[in-house]
Amino acid sequence: MKLWGGRFTKPTNELVDEYTASISFDQKLAQYDIQGSLAHVEMLAKCRIIPVEDAETIKKGLKFVAKKIAAGEAELTEANEDIHMNVEKLLIDEVGAVGGKLHTGRSRNDQVALDMRLYLRDSIVTLVELLSKLQESLMEQANQNLDTILPGYTHLQRAQPVLFAHHMMAYVSMFERDVERLKDSFKRVNRSPLGAGALAGTTFPIDRHFVAEQLNFDGVVENSLDAVSDRDFVVEFLANASLAIMHLSRLSEELVQWSSAEFNFIELDDAFCTGSSMMPQKKNPDVAELVRGKSGRVYGHLIGMLTTLKGLPIAYNKDMQEDKEGMFDTVETLKGALALFAPMISTMEVKKDNMYAAVAEDFSNATDLADYLVNKDLPFREAHAVVGQVVLHCIQEDKYLLDLKLEEFKNFSDLIEEDIYHVLAPQTVVNARDVAGGTAKNRVEEQIRLASSRLEES
Ligand code: ARG
């Protein structure tokens, strides 16, 4: 007989049981469900809604059930639909009819919202830790590459040289914002919905704040209808996770490009690459590729959740059971990616000479020639045109700017003097970007200093 079987005259069709059950995936919430129940039953006794002895029996029973589930010894069944009713059933099997008092003043609707929040709270803490570790790895690479110059690209065309440390710090900034977003969202997750009942509250003299305090929430979700019917905290998490994995995916793409023979800027450690079943020479950046690929499923979960929610009338609707798998999968996907990325970045070999050789064979110092002329009072637009001509000449002659003799420069502008060779050297070009946030070595050192002190504080 179902826990809710009273008003039914027939057993549920087996296909219905199978179709509506969530136990196959929501068993992930078991420990949170029991944690919530322990706080609820404590409150029921404190508020004299049930006798203290009954509460003690129920608590003992719940702890027993928790152990049994953790050990994989509990039988969780589709007939009992979801984790909430499975736990209640196991409890009643253990302690007898008194176990039936646990659900006093509570509904699965506020219970499931509670479990989701407890789960997400823990997950956010773990993800923030993992993101911080990745930031540390990137900063480690930045510190080791304060003299490594590579071409900076726009449109994937060589644009202006930058420090590899600067490039790494760009990602540190992105992941810092990801951490900020997750931490900010925590305060909206960290509210207790328990006590909302099915939708309208409850007739029992419960103490919602007591339960909230016991579970370390910052407070309660004020409105009972809102408490059971909204999942905006899940959407927000999925959006934050989407941004984080988007950043990881862009970094992945760069790692993939840089490890190609065409770039040959880095080599990922053997421990983080895989081979080919047919081509003996292959070493593939599979982890980076797979992270890039998995960003798709995380975005999918975000759109899926938004779509599930968009037409739902207040309050709880069964559609909302669809909130779980995407959230679980997103947490696991992001955790997995971050756990691999930190050591993969730390162990990556940076091929400084190849990066430098690439800078020597491009026109990424052309802006500096224009800026040089501007400093000699030529309007920028005219300087741009002159340098365009110089570059065209070089292309026709198969040369780069630094290959030109002073006389050749002078054919284009007699403002150009001997000091131009120093001005156009890659180190000078990089260090000339001496503005806040620029790629000059001292500015990058400053970025690293500021970012690491923020990381230490957090
Ligand atoms: N398994 C359900 C879910 O995950 C729990 C809440 C069900 N409530 C209900 N009244 N059917 O959404």
- CATH number, domain of 406, equals 1.10.40.30
Residues 324 and 439 in one domain: no
* Residue 276 falls in the annotated catalytic set: yes
Name the active-site residue from 37, 103, 123, 155. Answer: 155
Domain CATH number, residue 258: 1.20.200.10
Given a contact cutoff of 8 angstroms between Cβ atoms, the answer to whether 246 and 297 are in contact is: no
- Whole-angstrom distance, CA of residue 441 vs CA of residue 443: 5
Residue 141: both structure tokens together = 């690479």
Q: How confident is the model at residue 55 (pLDDT cuts 50, 70, 90)?
A: very high
Residue 379: both structure tokens together = 């309007």
Last residue in a domain, options 104, 139, 172:
104
Residue 448, in any domain of the structure = yes
* Contact 321 CB / ligand 1 (< 6 Å): yes
If one counts the domains in the chain, the total is 3
- Whole-angstrom distance, CA of residue 431 vs CA of residue 166: 12
ipTM (interface predicted TM) = 0.97
pLDDT at 1 over 80: no
E strand residue ranges, 135-267 = 149-154, 157-163, 191-192, 219-220, 266-267
pLDDT at 2 over 90: no
Mutation choice for ligand 1 from 25, 78, 107, 109, CB with most ligand atoms inside 8 A: 109
Residues 194 and 263 in one domain: yes
Residues 188 and 306 in one domain: yes
Residues 288 and 226 in one domain: yes
Last residue in a domain, options 315, 333, 357:
357
Residues 370 and 333 in one domain: no
Residue 164, in any domain of the structure = yes
Residue 138, in any domain of the structure = yes
Residues 260 and 396 in one domain: no
Given a contact cutoff of 8 angstroms between Cβ atoms, the answer to whether 228 and 315 are in contact is: yes
* Contact 80 CB / ligand 1 (< 6 Å): no
Instruction: Decide: helix, strand or coil at residue 191.
Output: strand
Last residue in a domain, options 69, 104, 139:
104
For atom 3 of ligand 1, the residue with the nearest CA is 321
> What confidence tens digit (pLDDT) does each residue in 141-191 have?
999 999 999 999 999 999 999 999 999 999 999 999 999 999 999 999 999
* Residue 40 falls in the annotated catalytic set: no
Residue 75, in any domain of the structure = yes
Non-local (6+) Cβ contacts of 423 within 8 A are: 368, 369, 372, 429, 432
Residue 207, in any domain of the structure = no
pLDDT at 50 over 80: yes
Residues 92 and 223 in one domain: no
Given a contact cutoff of 8 angstroms between Cβ atoms, the answer to whether 207 and 295 are in contact is: no
Task: Report the relative pairing of strands 157-163 and 219-220 from DSSP bridges.
Answer: unpaired
DSSP letter assigned to residue 350? E
For atom 2 of ligand 1, the residue with the nearest CA is 321
Residue 300: both structure tokens together = 């999918």
Supply the range of the domain harboring residue 34. Answer: 5-104
Residue 153: both structure tokens together = 């690209």
Q: How confident is the model at residue 115 (pLDDT cuts 50, 70, 90)?
A: very high
User: Among 2-6, 131-135, 243-247, which stretch is predicted with the lowest mean pLDDT?
Assistant: 2-6
Residue 213, in any domain of the structure = no
pLDDT at 3 over 90: no
Ligand 1: centre distance to CA 331 (Å): 21
Residues 383 and 343 in one domain: no
Residues 32 and 113 in one domain: no
Q: What is the pLDDT of residue 405?
A: 97
Residues 274 and 331 in one domain: yes
Q: What is the pLDDT of residue 127?
A: 98
- Whole-angstrom distance, CA of residue 215 vs CA of residue 205: 19
DSSP letter assigned to residue 274? B
Residue 9, in any domain of the structure = yes
Residues 171 and 299 in one domain: yes
Given a contact cutoff of 8 angstroms between Cβ atoms, the answer to whether 308 and 238 are in contact is: no
Domain CATH number, residue 36: 1.10.275.10
Ligand 1: centre distance to CA 175 (Å): 35
Residues 314 and 180 in one domain: yes
Residue 212, in any domain of the structure = no
Mean pLDDT of 297-314: 98
For atom 11 of ligand 1, the residue with the nearest CA is 318
